[in-house]
Amino acid sequence: MPLAEKGDLARRATTESILITIGILGGMGPGSTAPFLDRVYAECQSQYGASRDADYPHILLYSLPTPYEDGRDIDHGAMRAAIAGGVRRLALACVDFVAVPCSTAHRYFDEIRPHVGIPLMDMVAATVVKACEGATRVGVLATPETLAWGGYRAGLLKNGVEPVVLEAAQPLVDHVLARLTEGARPVDLADTWRSIVRLYRERGVERLIVGCTDLSAMIGLGAEAEFVDAAHILARISVAEYVRRRETSRA
């Protein structure tokens, strides 16, 4: 889009964004929440040329502590109730839609949608659409819980693409996730990350879904592959939805 047109969109956002508010339900995990917000701001710059403080959307972010512990079985009833409760609190604050940067949380969307009364952005479905473009085989990097749910797998298969999860690589993925959760610097885990990607490339898998938002921090650390970053996709579709709703409100 030409810069002049982006500038016009940004000026319109200044006067009209008060009508549209983005809700973000974060905290899953805590370290991925602030980087996701940064991605949303970057998408505002990219999609409609936001530059001044007043150009950006109204955003309400709720960091939600959930009953989830690595290495322990999930209490699905408690998780579903926590996520539904978080969405409801954002709805009470009058957000227009909610983005949840956590793949594991998406497994509960079909159950909670009828009860929360507000649209939920579907990160998993949008990521699958992007990953399937021109692909025949796509690797999935995610937590064991997300893999067990199978949302990415089902979406890829539905589109005729073979999902690949390597048993040899998963312990390394789990190690990176655990260390990131403990506060390790991504750069200190770069060698392990490169080993994960190398295992997939040796099996002929060149495109990888980064299906855990904590893993987004590892992209760009020297591993050569085509990554489809779920957090980036969610930021992109959330800002696109904001722009769509803002333009509709003007009609």
Q: Please give the positions annotated as active site.
A: 102, 212
Sign of CA dihedral 61, 67, 73, 75: negative
**Distance (Å, rounded) from C-alpha 20 to C-alpha 238?**
12
CB 22 within 8 A of CB 95: yes
Strand order, beta sheet including 137-141: 162-164, 137-141, 207-210, 226-229
**What one-character DSSP code corresponds to residue 18?**
G
Q: Residue 141 pairs with which residues in a beta bridge? A: 210
Tokens for 40, please give them.
């949303």
CB 228 within 8 A of CB 208: yes
Kindly state the helix (H) or strand (E) to which residue 137 belongs, with its residue range.
strand 137-141
Rounded to a whole number of angstroms, the CA Rg of the chain reads 18
Query: How do strand 207-210 and strand 226-229 relate by DSSP bridges?
Result: parallel
Please enumerate in sequence order all residues whose Cβ is within 8 A of that of 248, keeping only pairs 6 or more positions apart, or say none. Answer: none
